[in-house]
C-alpha cells in the first residue's frame, strides 16, 4: 500500500453483509452497556465511542472477518504479526462522524461499509481537499493512519452501519481487546 492512498475492494457477499448487520444491530445496546462513550466526534451515546471496549474479532462474526478481511490484508502487503482492533459504527438520521485520523504513527486503518444509503459515502482529505467516495455494501477501504476522514451526517432514514479497524504493530500489543494475526487462519 502506498502511503497517502486508499485501497478498496468488495470482500463481502450479500449473505455475509446480512449476517454482520443483524449481529451489530442486535448487539448494539449490549455493547453500549460495556461502558461510557468516550469519543466526542460522534453523537452522544454512540457505538463508535465504545471502540476500546470490544473487538469484533472476538465476536460471533469473527469467522466472516477472518475469512474475508485477512486474505485481503495479506494481498495488500500487510505484514504479520499484526494486531487488529475492530469495532462497529452505527449512524442514524442526523448522525455522522467528524473529521479525524487514527494517529500520526505509521499503521494501517480501514473500514467496511455494511449498509445504509450508499451516496453518503466516506470523506477522505488529501492535500486539504475533500474527496467523497460513495460506499458499496461489502466494500473495504484501506488507508494509512495519518489520513483524515469523516462521514457526513446521515440525512436518510436507513441506519448507516460500517466496521472500522486499526492494524497495529508490536508497539501496541498492550491494548485491550486486540486480535493477534500471526499465522495462517484455518477455514471452518
Q: For every one of its 188 residues, what pLDDT tens digit does the chain have, with 9 covering 90 and above?
A: 445 567 899 999 999 999 999 999 999 999 999 999 998 889 899 999 999 999 999 999 999 999 999 999 999 988 888 999 999 999 999 999 999 888 777 889 999 999 999 999 999 998 889 999 999 999 999 998 889 999 999 999 999 999 999 998 777 666 677 888 886 654 44
* Neighbouring C-beta atoms of residue 132, cutoff 10 Å: 14
pLDDT of residue 41: 87
Whole-angstrom distance, CA of residue 60 vs CA of residue 65: 10
pTM over 0.75? The answer is yes
Per-residue model confidence (pLDDT) at position 188: 43
Q: What are phi and psi of 157, to 5 degrees?
A: -80, -25
Q: Which long-range contacts (CB under 8 A, 24 or more apart) does 118-124 make?
A: 120/96, 120/151, 120/152, 120/154, 120/155, 120/156, 120/160, 121/151, 121/152, 122/149, 122/150, 122/151, 123/99, 123/149, 123/150, 123/151, 123/152, 124/6, 124/148, 124/149
Inter-axis angle of helices 62-75 and 14-32, nearest 10: 120
Domain ranges in the chain? 6-181
Residue 157 C-beta-side C-alpha neighbours within 13 Å: 0
Listed in sequence order, the residues at least 6 apart from 30 whose beta carbon sits closer than 8 Å to its beta carbon are: none
Give domain 6-181's CATH number out of 1.10.150.130, 2.60.120.620, 2.60.40.1080, 3.40.50.300: 2.60.120.620
Query: What is the torsion angle, in degrees rounded to the nearest 10, for the CA atoms of residue 43, residue 46, residue 49 and residue 53?
Result: 170
Amino acid at each position: 500500500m502506498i502511503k497517502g492512498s486508499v485501497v478498496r475492494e468488495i470482500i463481502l457477499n450479500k449473505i455475509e453483509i446480512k449476517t454482520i448487520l443483524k449481529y451489530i444491530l442486535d448487539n448494539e445496546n449490549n455493547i453500549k452497556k460495556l461502558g461510557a462513550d468516550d469519543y466526542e466526534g460522534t453523537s452522544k451515546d454512540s457505538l463508535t465511542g465504545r471502540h476500546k471496549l470490544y473487538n469484533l474479532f472476538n465476536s460471533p462474526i469473527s469467522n466472516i472477518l477472518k475469512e474475508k478481511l485477512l486474505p485481503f490484508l495479506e494481498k495488500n502487503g500487510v505484514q504479520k504479526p499484526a494486531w487488529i482492533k475492530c469495532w462497529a459504527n452505527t449512524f442514524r438520521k442526523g448522525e455522522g462522524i467528524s473529521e479525524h485520523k487514527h494517529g500520526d504513527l505509521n499503521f494501517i486503518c480501514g473500514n467496511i461499509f455494511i449498509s445504509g444509503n450508499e451516496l453518503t459515502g466516506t470523506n477522505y482529505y488529501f492535500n486539504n481537499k475533500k474527496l467523497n467516495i460513495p460506499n458499496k455494501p461489502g466494500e473495504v477501504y484501506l488507508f494509512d493512519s495519518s489520513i483524515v476522514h469523516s462521514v457526513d451526517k446521515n440525512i436518510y432514514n436507513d441506519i448507516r452501519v460500517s466496521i472500522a479497524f486499526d492494524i497495529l504493530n508490536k508497539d501496541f500489543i498492550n491494548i485491550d481487546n486486540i486480535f493477534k494475526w500471526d499465522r495462517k487462519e484455518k477455514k471452518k
